[in-house]
Structure 1
Amino acid sequence: MQRILIIEDDAAIAHLMESTLRREQYNTIWAADGVQGADLFETGHFDLILLDLMLPGISGFELLEYFVPSKVPVIIISAMGQVENRIKGLKMGADDFLVKPFQIGELLARVESVLRRTGKKETTFSCEEVTVDCDSRVVLKNGQEVELTAKEFDLLTVLIRNRNVALSRCFLYESVWQEEYTGETRTLDNHIQRLRKKLGWNDKIQTVFRIGYRLKM
């Protein structure tokens, strides 16, 4: 699970970011000021830093200068959205700049984009005897390749990226088939049944009553 360090002095904003990112299966740690942010950075490995600029103790720009040599990607998230601040942050080495207030969906998109661009996005998943490589679209069980159709693989990927979360049939269908869900469940349910059988995951791909499915990992 990828670790994200959030350095933000506004507790409400930090908690919103934490809860949202955790739902997407990121491991988050929050620092409420610049000094705590620097200390946490020194003591742990992180895949991404979300950095406010106006911080008590040590400013965001000072922290950015400290973080850049480590090659850990940084997204600045700040109300200081003037052009000169955005230019300064990006020239100093930030990977992106998100201006407050922001839509939570945009935050998730920026996080995923930066992790993918910097090669830090998780692309291989393992659960007991099954390994899934999202880049090569190869699934192995006990070292043997499992033949999945394109839609079966896409469905498996959505379940894995949202593991341990109850997902509605509507969300699953529209994520995989890229068309409006009209309430017809046969197509999705058949694909779920085939995944269970091919992977031996009858106990892991769980039916959630009146909602949809959850992959328990």
Structure 2
Amino acid sequence: MAFILIIEDEVAINELIKRNLQLVGHQCNSVYDGREAVTEMNRQTYDMLILDIMLPGLDGFEVIRQSNHTPTIFLTAKNSLSDRIKGFSLGADDYLTKPFEMLELLARVEAVLRRTKKTANRFEQGDVKVDFDSHQVFCKDRLIECTPKEYELLEVLVNNRNIALSRERLLELVWGYDFEGDTRTVDVHIQKVRKKLGWEDRIKTVYKLGYRLEVQE
């Protein structure tokens, strides 16, 4: 997993981001103003920055100028086209506006880390290995045949490990907003993934909500 610096002056948002990134296995530090961020980046190397624009001390645009090309996601209330263009022209890898969905931020973090080769393109837990590049799944070094939807469901669970996901959200993430089926589809596919990987005790049912993949990093 990655070492991430969160640069956000709203303490509650900073802590929320940190807690969720740590749940999925990342190591994080937090700072709350631009000058402190530059000092911290000079002190230590990070795999990624999650960076607000409107900061005390130095704004996010000045911070990214001094980031030594560290992969960066802007997370900001500034949503004008000119701000987006400026952010990308300064080297941002992604730009997400507030208010935001935490699951979307986690997905964007994972995408940027893979694209910039700052994280492994595989996941291992016990006897199970998931190769994200080839979309192949192995259990005890044996290739497991998964349908496309079973694989997509598994990847969503892995990328959001230790986070409870509702059946409705899993439907949106795996089957899409226009899917005409119901949440029983999720239950059926969860049972199949559990059985194929021997994860009956690892994919937990969250009462009256959905499912959570429990992982110890």
Length-normalised TM-score, structure 2? 0.75
Pairing 1:103–2:99 present: yes
Give the direction of change, closer, same or farther, for the CA distance of 1:53–1:132 in structure 2 (3 Å limit): same
Give the direction of change, closer, same or farther, for the CA distance of 1:8–1:170 in structure 2 (3 Å limit): closer
Consecutive unaligned residues in structure 1, runs of 5 or more: none
Query: Could you tell me which amino acid in structure 2 is paired with residue 103 of structure 1?
Result: P
The correspondence of residues 124-135 of structure 1 with structure 2, limited to 5 A, is: 124-135=122-133
- Which shifted more, 139-148 or 164-173? 164-173
Query: Which protein is bigger by CA-based radius of gyration?
Result: 1
Give the CA deviation at 1:136.
Answer: 0.8
* Kept after mapping to 1: 8 A contact 2:49/2:70: yes
The correspondence of residues 84-163 of structure 1 with structure 2, limited to 5 A, is: 88-97=86-95, 102-105=98-101, 108=105, 111=109, 114-115=112-113, 117-120=115-118, 123-163=121-161
The correspondence of residues 65-80 of structure 1 with structure 2, limited to 5 A, is: 65-68=65-68, 71-78=69-76
Give the CA deviation at 1:127.
Answer: 0.4
* Kept after mapping to 1: 8 A contact 2:53/2:78: yes
Query: Could you tell me which amino acid in structure 2 is paired with residue 6 of structure 1?
Result: I
- Which shifted more, 154-163 or 9-18? 9-18
Aligned residues between the structures: 211
- Give the fraction of aligned pairs with identical amino acids, expressed as a percent: 44
Give the direction of change, closer, same or farther, for the CA distance of 1:201–1:44 in structure 2 (3 Å limit): farther
* Kept after mapping to 2: 8 A contact 1:170/1:181: no
Deviations for 1:165-194, whole angstroms, at most 9, x for unmatched residues?
A: 2222222234333314535x2x43332222
Deviations for 1:5-52, whole angstroms, at most 9, x for unmatched residues?
A: 121223244345445655666544220123331343244443321223
Query: Could you tell me which amino acid in structure 1 is paired with residue 8 of structure 2?
Result: E
- Which shifted more, 26-35 or 77-86? 77-86
Deviations for 1:132-182, whole angstroms, at most 9, x for unmatched residues?
A: 012211111222211222222122112212212222222223433331453
Length-normalised TM-score, structure 1? 0.75
Query: Could you tell me which amino acid in structure 1 is paired with residue 164 of structure 2?
Result: A
